[in-house]
Chain A
Amino acid sequence: MFIRLEPRGQRSAPWSYASPVLALALSLVTAAIIFAALGKDPLQSLYTFFISPLTSATGRPELFVKAAPLVLIAVGLSLGFRANVWNIGAEGQYTIGAILGGGVGLALYGDGNPLTFPAMMIGGAVGGMAWAAIPAFLRTRFNANEILTSLMLTYVAQLLLIYLVAGPWRDPQGYGFPQSRLFDESGTSPNLIAGTRLHFGVLAAFVVVGLGWILLARSLIGFQLKVVGQAPRAARYAGFSESRLVWFSMLLGGGLAGLAGLFEVAGPVGQLTPQISPGYGFTAIIVAFLGRLHPLGVLLAGLLLALSYLGGEKAQIELGMPNAVTGIFQGILLFYLLACDVLILYRVKIRRRFGSVSAGATS
């Protein structure tokens, strides 16, 4: 191999911050190339994609609306990832949260009860937690890999949703389309600022970022998550219970994902349909990594990826670009981030000729 990686011996702090920036820069360059390959002007496309959503008065709040579910889910995921708990099924937990919370809303439909929305929020959180409890149980009790179990449950959740909105929960006045009723006034998220779609979930996202930060930095359980991920033997020495931490991570991730699902359906979407998520649960994984598994970083990363969603929509409308560009950009961003992250722990040495150039101490 011509590329040789030399361990630095410790994490390079400058590169921890520089790596996402470098990854972003490389992604933008690559995006420009893709735009050009599609026959569009690269600079104009980049502008449309990344800048123009921020220029309009309606665009800016939309950024937060799109970022809210990503941030909510990713805060939960990032804490779990730190502890080596790989919750890949957040999408399914989001769905079940939407189902349970939305179900509460449908059950209380027309009552005008002011407690409807709070009850729906609880339903959302509980739904997500219950769905995440399954992989947590299977891992702690049966040693089953949570990546696969949580993932399989994503598909089960999606099918359940389709069944419900095409069957028992179908809107009688919906002309036969698979969708539920639109939630009524008391079942809809209160608007934060009139004229925008800023719903309660946006506020919740900020609150969760703050609480997540406190949890990670100042709480005992946050500390335990960090230790278990970095040094499992030290965690055992300290008496931390690995299964307790698995449960905590999964329930937290699931609860937040379920809440995010509820906020979406009780807010921007307004009802239960088969398409309540453009893959938020999976994109949130990218957000978590991009945000360096820290709540504040997650907030910034969430805004960036929300921008990519908005940009993709705008590009579709104004430039005739296919919707898929968003997914491509997100995937490329994660690829570059993973590649640039190697610079945190290793130095890259390029061999100019065959044979070993670097001197190693012979034992």
Chain B
Amino acid sequence: MSGDLAWIVPVILSVISASTPLLLAATGELVTEKAGVLNLGVEGMMLAGAIVGFAATVATGSGLLGIAGAAVAGALLALVFAVLTLTFLANQVATGLALTIFGVGFTALMGTGYVGIALQGLPSLNVPGLSDLPAIGPILFQQDILVYGSFALLAGVGWFLYRTHAGLVLRSIGDSHDAAHAIGYPVVAIRYAAVAFGGAMSGLGGAYLSLAYTPMWAENMTAGRGWIALALVVFAAWRPWRLLLGAYLFGGVTILQSALQAAGVRIPPQFLGMLPYLVTIVVLVIISSNRARIRLNAPACLAKPFYAVG
């Protein structure tokens, strides 16, 4: 590879790094929203996954156990949300916010003992022979399990939603929970499952941050990624493959700011940091402004409480 382009590889690796937590969390939230539930607590659930994953790894020395613990932590927090909104019929927006506020505080509390501890980082899964290829070797064949997992899970979710009957039922609930109930499908039970899955995925996203991205714990280390993940779902118009595009776009923009700085572009870093958020707004506007399009893509029952009749 020519020396001029040698900088591409580290940049791509950085982009993958930055995008993976977004992809994981957004994939989970996509499933939740497809079932008609809006869970704004992604930030809190990611933090829960980050601290529990970190703590479990520190305690057991095993990254895998850390990852598993993170998923469970995210799911548990999501279940609190589910009980409040699906059984007690509380307002989904307020409950999601409460989850985030609580999550930030709770994880900060839990994490006090873990500040300053450094971890190794997740081991990369090497494929003998292929990993040594120049350029594509490191990019494609030297990633850790969560990176491969993010792609596998996205593909799995896409297959589940669009190629299985169970996934069809889930989508129908998000479209019209009354019609689905009239057919006889267990709307509330399926939503519980969707919310729990979303929580687990957010937990995994958080685990990536504390175990791989920057293998350490710091209070509020998600720094708003949970909110970006929420925006990503809208950006992707609730379709899995576009989620991949979106996640990498946003991850890319984050890296762009460092790259531009390194390249000597004299824009204050804070303005570059604003880019992901501004782009999200622009995309949101474009998608929403065509009222027909938002109606088609957004699950029609999103955030509407479901009152079972009879």
Do A and B touch, yes or no (CB under 8 Å, in the complex)? yes
Interface residue ranges, A against B (CB under 8 Å): 1, 3, 5, 86, 88, 138, 141-145, 147-149, 151-153, 155-156, 159-160, 162-163, 166-167, 279, 282-283, 285-286, 289, 322-332, 334-335, 338-339, 341-342, 345-346, 360
CA distance A324 to B111 in the complex (A): 10
Once the chains bind, are B94 and A360 in contact (CB under 8 Å)? no
A342 and B84 alpha carbons, distance in the complex (Å): 9
Does the CB pair A328–B281 fall under 8 Å? Answer: no
A153 touches B101 (CB 8 A): no
Beta-carbon contacts under 8 Å, B69-125 to A? 80, 84, 87-91, 93-95, 97-109, 112
Q: Is the CB of B87 within 8 A of A155?
A: no
Q: What are 13 A-B pairs with beta-carbon distances under 8 A?
A: A144-B281, A145-B288, A147-B93, A148-B281, A159-B270, A285-B97, A324-B107, A324-B109, A324-B112, A328-B106, A331-B101, A341-B90, A342-B89
Are B105's CB and A330's CB within 8 A?
Answer: yes
Chain B residues with CB below 8 A from A143, complex form: 288-289, 291, 294
| Contacts A324-B106, A330-B101; A149 near B284 (Cβ below 8 A) | yes
Task: Enumerate B37-73 residues with CB–CB distance to A below 8 Å.
Answer: 40
Q: Is B204 an interface residue (CB 8 A)?
A: no
Task: Kindly list 15 other residue pairs between chains A and B, CB separation below 8 angstroms, not including A338-B84, A341-B90.
Answer: A5-B87, A144-B281, A144-B285, A148-B284, A149-B281, A153-B277, A163-B268, A167-B268, A282-B100, A324-B107, A330-B105, A331-B99, A338-B95, A338-B98, A342-B88
Selecting from B14-22, B150-158, B210-218, B226-234, the interface stretch reads B226-234
Interface SS majority for chain B: helix
A151 & B227 in contact (Cβ 8 Å cutoff): yes
Question: Which of B103, B112, B231 has a CB less than 8 Å from the CB of A152?
Answer: B231
* Complex alpha-carbon distance, A79 and B271, angstroms: 33
B278 contacts A327, C-beta separation under 8 Å: no
CA separation between A283 and B105, bound complex, in Å? 12
Q: Evaluate whether A335 and B289 lie within 8 angstroms (CB atoms) in the complex, with A153-B277, A155-B274, A155-B277 already known.
A: no
CB of B44, distance to nearest CB on chain A (Å): 8
Residues in B neighbouring A86, C-beta threshold 8 A: 93
Chain B's nearest CB lies how many Å from the CB of A38?
8
Q: Which residues on the A side are within 8 Å of B280 (C-beta)? A: 148, 152
| Shortest 7 CB-CB contacts between residues of A and residues of B | A327-B105, A331-B102, A324-B108, A163-B270, A338-B90, A334-B98, A142-B289
- Most chain-A Cβ atoms within 10 A of its Cβ — which of B87, B105, B109, B291? B105
Q: Encode contact with A along B229-262: 1 for CB under 8 Å, 0 otherwise.
A: 0110010000000000000000000000000000
Chain B, residue nearest A5 (CB): B89
B219 at the binding interface (Cβ < 8 Å): yes
Q: Are A283 and B284 in touch, CB under 8 angstroms? A: no
Which residues from chain A contact B188 at a C-beta distance below 8 Å?
A: 1
Is the CB–CB distance between B101 and A286 below 8 Å? yes
Question: For B138, what are the chain A residues with a Cβ–Cβ distance below 8 Å?
Answer: none
